[in-house]
Amino acid sequence: MSDLQTYVEAVKIIKEAILCSQYRAASAANKEQLSLYYGIGCYVSKNSREGFWGKGAIETISQQLQKELPGLRGFSAANIKFMRQFYETWCEDLKSLTMVSGIGNDKSLTVVDEIDTQLLILCEIPQKEAFDVASFLGLGFTHHMIIVRKTSSLAERLFYIRQAFANKWSKEVLAARIEDDLFNHQGEIANNFIQKIPDARQSLKAIGMFKDEYLLDFINVEELGARDIEEVNETVVEQTIVDNIKKFILQFGKDFLFMGNQYTINVCGHAHRIDLLFFNRELDCLVAIELKTGTFKQMYLGELNGYLRLLDDYVRKPHENPSIGIILCKDADRTYVEYMIQDYDKPMGVATYKTTAQMDERLKKLLPPVEELEKLLG
């Protein structure tokens, strides 16, 4: 490695450390601010909705705050109303989702004469996996208000909170992804497209392009002289797909152009061969597919990640989008795949496939043994 490459790598590592530290500091500040705003929202809600505050009370309070605390920002009448909306949106949901002492504020009083600024900081272990306290408290108030104002269900809010926190989305990116309706366009294929494809619309296209399971009914393992797909050599499966490439493309969808099988890239005297390589016109990118006749293994991701790096460095055209990789295997544990795939830096997905030999077990139980069938069929 040259000195320049060494320095570039050093800058990358230091930059990542700085950004992580800044993000942790911001998250701690967000926690305090959110709890303050939630408490104020509770106070304002109880007094303006159930109490005796008159019309224009919030505007008057905001103006007086500005006079008594010159330079105070974030407490305009509109923002105070946002705080009330924030509290009212989350009050009941937080009570049901978390083990939080007093977070819902069940006081029967119609007038609240104090503000509890610790309501959100008292969060304990969540009762449901869907609610991630760290993500919720780690997002800034502006992000939360975008989510509250632009979504309509708890599931949708929780989804965007997790994604915005995990991917460090700016408020502009968050708003764009909600506008693109990412929540309702989640594909079933286990993937890291949202995290690894920067462009929101491109990641949405990629998610919608691939399925979690494909029926390769042109592969008949019995005709290939085997009882199960795992007994068939991957090269044989690959060749069967190549022989039926039109059927295979129909399974994957429109706009796939076949570029070849065992596509070879030579780098530093080493030959790297990709099982199947396509170009997708809609995504404007190369799509590498690796075939596996057995169960998904974590090492497949590392292999595919390397192939995608080679494609981007040596094959991809300057105007094309970064390459995408798909591992196609007999079966896979989705939870395990989603856990293992998150740290790889290339966009990848893992799908499974069925052949004519993989009949539903319930149907198999209804049929007589093979020997009896053979007798019946003469």
User: What is the pTM for the complete model shown?
Assistant: 0.54
What is the share, in percent, of the chain residues with pLDDT greater than 90? 29
In this prediction, residue 323 carries a pLDDT of: 97
In this prediction, residue 117 carries a pLDDT of: 60
Do residues 148 and 140 lie in contact, with contact meaning Cβ atoms separated by under 8 Å?
Answer: no
- The residue that leads in pLDDT, 243 or 359, is 243
CB atoms near residue 113 (< 10 Å): 9
Q: Which residues contact 241 (CB under 8 A, 6 or more apart)?
A: 216, 219, 248, 261, 276, 291
Dist. CA 128–CA 110, nearest whole Å: 31
Do residues 186 and 192 lie in contact, with contact meaning Cβ atoms separated by under 8 Å?
Answer: no
* CATH level 2 (architecture), domain 208-361: 3-Layer(aba) Sandwich (3.40)
Do residues 199 and 285 lie in contact, with contact meaning Cβ atoms separated by under 8 Å?
Answer: no
What is the share, in percent, of the chain residues with pLDDT greater than 70? 75
Dist. CA 142–CA 348, nearest whole Å: 31
pLDDT over 80 (residue 20): no
In this prediction, residue 2 carries a pLDDT of: 64
pLDDT band at 18 (very low <50, low <70, confident <90, very high): confident
Q: Which stretches of 214-288 are DSSP H helices?
A: 234-243, 245-252
Q: Which residues contact 220 (CB under 8 A, 6 or more apart)?
A: 355, 356, 357
Dist. CA 35–CA 16, nearest whole Å: 28
Type and span of the H or E element at 377: none
Q: Tokens 């506008």, residue? A: 179
Q: Hey, which residues does 348 pair with through a beta bridge?
A: 325
Q: What is the mean pLDDT of residues 200-221?
A: 75
| Boundaries of every domain in the chain | 3-185, 208-361
Nearest to 154 by CA among 194, 123, 183, 188: 183
List the single range of 38-47, 132-141, 176-185 with lowest mean pLDDT: 176-185
pLDDT over 70 (residue 224): no
pLDDT over 80 (residue 366): no
pLDDT over 50 (residue 109): no
In this prediction, residue 361 carries a pLDDT of: 47
For all residues of the chain together, what is the average pLDDT?
79
pLDDT band at 351 (very low <50, low <70, confident <90, very high): very high
The structure tokens listed for 272 are 């790297």
- The residue that leads in pLDDT, 97 or 84, is 84
List the single range of 101-105, 127-131, 154-158, 201-205 with lowest mean pLDDT: 101-105
Dist. CA 126–CA 138, nearest whole Å: 15
State the chain's maximal CA–CA distance in angstroms: 97
